[in-house]
Structure 1
Amino acid sequence: MGRPAREKNAGLLDTELDALPPELRWREWMTRVEAVIFAAPEPVTRDMLARLVGRGCSIDLLIEDIANELAARPYEIVAVAGGWQFRTRPRQAEVLKAAFGGATTGADITEGEMIVLASIAYHQPVTRGALSDMLGREVSRDIIGQLRRLDMIASGPRSPQPGAPYTYVTTKKFLEQFGLETLRDLPDLEALEDAGLLSREAVPNESIPVSALVAESEGDDGVADDIAVEAKE
Structure 2
Amino acid sequence: MDLSDPKDLASLLEAFLLASGKPQSLERLAELFEEAERPSSAQLKKALDVLEKSCKGRAFELKEVASGYRLQVRERFAPWVGRLWEERPQRYSRALLETLALIAYRQPITRGEIEDIRGVAVNSQIVKTLLEREWIRVVGHRDVPGRPAMFATTRQFLDHFNLKNLDELPPLAVLREMEPELRPVVDEEDAAVPADLQARADLAAEEPQDEPREQTSFRSLLAELDGMEQGLKTDFDDLLEPAVPDADDESAP
* Structure-1-length-normalised TM-score: 0.68
Distance in 1 between residues matched to 2:93 and 2:110, nearest whole Å: 20
Instruction: State percent identity of aligned pairs.
Output: 25
What's the offset of the Cα at 1:207? 4.1
Change (3 A) 1:102 1:207: farther
Change (3 A) 1:157 1:73: same
User: Partners in 2 of 1:208 and 1:69 — Cα distance?
Assistant: 48
More helix by share: 2
Q: Which runs of 5+ in 1 are unaligned?
A: 1-16, 210-233
Q: Which residue of 2 aligns with 1:195?
A: 223
Picking from 21, 38, 43, the partner of 1:41 is 21
Answer yes or no: is the 8 Å Cα contact 2:225–2:231 preserved in 1.
no
Q: How many residues align?
A: 187
1:96 alignment partner, one of 67, 78, 81: 81
Residue matched to 1:137: 120
- 1:63 is aligned to 48
Asked which structure has the greater RCO (Cα within 8 Å, sep 6+), the reply is 2
Deviations 1:181-226 (A, max 9, x none): 11111101112449353389633432499xxxxxxxxxxxxxxxxx
Aligned Cα root-mean-square deviation (Å): 3.0
Match of 1:178 in 2: 161
C-alpha distance after superposition, 1:119-167 (max 9, x if no partner): 1100111111111111111112221111111111111122122232211
Higher strand share: 1
Q: Secondary structure at the match of 1:85?
A: strand
Q: What is the TM-score with the length of structure 2 in the denominator?
A: 0.64
Structure 2 gaps of 5+ residues are 177-221, 240-253
| Worse-superposed segment, 43-52 or 179-188 | 43-52
Match of 1:44, SS state, is coil
1:206 aligns with 2:241: no
For 1:175 and 1:34, locate their aligned partners in 2 and report how far apart those are by CA, in whole Å: 22
SS, match of residue 140 in structure 2: coil
In the aligned structure 1, how far is the partner of 2:43 from the partner of 2:144? Answer: 47
* Residue deviations 1:81-116 (CA, integer Å, cap 9, x gap): 23111111123235425x4489787x6432211110
The residue type equivalent to 2:233 in the other structure is: V
- Could you report, residue by residue, the CA deviation over 1:35-90 in whole angstroms, capped at 9, with x for unpaired residues? 22212232111221233442364332211100111223211111112311111112
